Structure 1
């Protein structure tokens, strides 16, 4: 009797182990496919390596859904812009800052505020794309808004850097601002490229 019980227990454990192994293998396969989807999609981005670096960690949330990919790209760009805005706003107290530099930093902080506002509008509008019952006309209207606001945000970021032109502005302050703004601009450019790619497949 004990032997029969032991055999049943062994078979039960083996069954559980096999089921768990199959489940893990399935999840691993899905995870690999999700990551590969992000990698392939990022080939359409302006900066493919940065795109994959920024979005691959969200692959399990994106799950091979193009619209979710574009939403995530915009959200990443928005978060980056918010951080840059805070950082640049604090540079008005930079030690030894000149009057001209102070003006450039203040203008840049304002431009980044506009960037945050426009990317936020883009993200909200993007969430309406493809809603049930939405006509093609509604889809293209929403997509056009998203493209316009995201493109305008990219212009704001470039305008910020324009304020630091000329040899008189060279130095640690400009370098620090440029590092932050360039990263935001690259993320925004990637988001816009993915939005355009999404629209082209509708």
Structure 2
């Protein structure tokens, strides 16, 4: 009788565990929110990725790829905005030079993020040291893209640069940097779980 009770208890525990697992697998939004807790900006992370829940499913790899893709898209948009700011009427010479540097940095950032997505795509069948090598490349490129974004803002660091151009570019670049930071955290999460 005691064995039967123990058996039923274990069976019930197995069923409940399986049901909980199935519930989580069927809800990619919860997977995304849970994964985003590992990022520095979890609310932004969940908001920016929830629209891709179907594509992401419950795949850490696809989550990282999607986060990088969102970051690329927003960085391209930001780079286009910065280019427009170079043509603002009345822009001062110092601001114009800072904008030109920023355009170059944002272009480099897009290139590095694009390379990181390609490299992450190569991890599909990679194992052992091969996987570690690909992931190291991805992490290096995403970190460099984040540095490019920060460097873009360095040109506007002096107090004499306060104004519309600086404020507009700063707001956009900071938003992109937060997305890129989140993408890096999700890349690191994927690397650590593989």
TM-score band, normalised by the shorter chain?
0.7 to 0.9
**8 Å contact 2:25–2:58 — kept in the other structure?**
no
Give the aligned partner of residue 170 of structure 1: 162
Give the aligned partner of residue 172 of structure 2: 180
1:73 to 51, 67, 71: 67
With normalisation by structure 2, the TM-score equals 0.86
Give the aligned partner of residue 56 of structure 2: 62
**8 Å contact 1:55–1:72 — kept in the other structure?**
yes
Q: What are the Cα deviations for residues 6-29 of structure 1, in whole angstroms up to 9, with x where unaligned?
A: xxxxxxxxxxxxxxxxxxxxxxx7
- SS, match of residue 44 in structure 1: coil
Q: 2:95 aligned with 1:101, yes or no?
A: yes
- SS, match of residue 93 in structure 1: coil
Q: 2:44 aligned with 1:50, yes or no?
A: yes
User: Displacement of 1:95 after TM fit?
Assistant: 1.1
**Structure 2 unmatched ranges of 5 or more:** 1-22
User: Displacement of 1:30 after TM fit?
Assistant: 7.8
Q: How many residues align?
A: 172
User: Displacement of 1:130 after TM fit?
Assistant: 2.9
Mapping of 1:90-129 within 5 angstroms? 90-129=84-123
**8 Å contact 1:104–1:163 — kept in the other structure?**
yes
1:130 to 103, 124, 127: 124
**8 Å contact 1:34–1:60 — kept in the other structure?**
yes
- SS, match of residue 130 in structure 1: coil
| Distance in 1 between residues matched to 2:108 and 2:52, nearest whole Å | 26
Instruction: Detail structure 1 runs of 4+ shifted over 4 Å in the superposition.
Output: 29-32
**Structure 1 unmatched ranges of 5 or more:** 1-28
| Distance in 2 between residues matched to 1:142 and 1:31, nearest whole Å | 27
**8 Å contact 1:31–1:60 — kept in the other structure?**
no
With normalisation by structure 1, the TM-score equals 0.83
Q: Which moved more, 1:142-151 or 1:89-98?
A: 89-98
Structure 1 vs Structure 2 CA RMSD: 1.3
